[in-house]
Structure formats: structure tokens, C-alpha cells
């Protein structure tokens, strides 16, 4: 395995583990915040879910700029 491929695999693993942890604890976080403010609970939940996709979008942009496209 090349160092570049190893780096990509480690990055994907870290992102996957972080996503699993966020999704696992998401209901607890949203319910806890929702007891204070339901709107804030919704916003935090939506931001956490959208953050998952934002990470992949930013990673794709970074790789595209790195390759010079």
C-alpha cells in the first residue's frame, strides 16, 4: 500500500468513526438541547447531519484543487 493510499484510508476511517459517533449520540444531544429550546435542538441536529456531508464536500474540493483541476 502506497503512503498516499494509506493516508486516504486513515482519513476515511477517521471520518467514518466520527460520523458513527455523531449519529449514535445525535438523539441524546437533540433531546437534551430540545428541552431547553425545540428550535435550537432542531438547528443543532440539522447542522450535525449537514456537517457530515460538508466534510465530504470539502474533502472533494481539496483533492480537486490538489490535482490541479
Q: Is residue 31 part of a domain?
A: yes
**In this structure, what DSSP letter does residue 1 have?**
-
> In the predicted model, what is the mean pLDDT of residues 12-29?
90
Domain of residue 28, residue span: 21-67
Instruction: Indicate the number of domains in the chain.
Output: 1
Between 53 and 5, the more confident residue is: 53
User: What's the full length of the chain, in residues?
Assistant: 69
Q: Cα(44)–Cα(32) distance, rounded to whole angstroms?
A: 11
Predicted model pTM: 0.68
Report yes or no on 16 lying in a domain.
no
Is the pLDDT at 69 greater than 70? The verdict is no
Averaged pLDDT of the chain: 87
Is the separation of the CB atoms in 44 and 29 below 8 Å?
yes
Residue 52 lies in a domain: yes
pLDDT band at 17 (very low <50, low <70, confident <90, very high): very high
Amino acid at each position: 500500500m502506497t503512503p498516499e493510499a494509506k493516508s486516504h484510508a486513515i482519513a476515511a476511517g477517521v471520518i467514518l468513526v466520527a460520523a458513527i459517533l455523531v449519529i449514535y449520540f445525535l438523539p441524546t444531544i437533540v433531546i437534551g438541547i430540545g428541552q431547553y429550546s425545540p428550535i435550537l435542538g432542531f438547528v443543532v441536529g440539522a447542522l450535525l447531519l449537514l456537517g457530515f456531508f460538508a466534510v465530504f464536500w470539502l474533502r472533494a474540493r481539496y483533492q480537486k484543487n490538489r490535482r490541479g483541476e
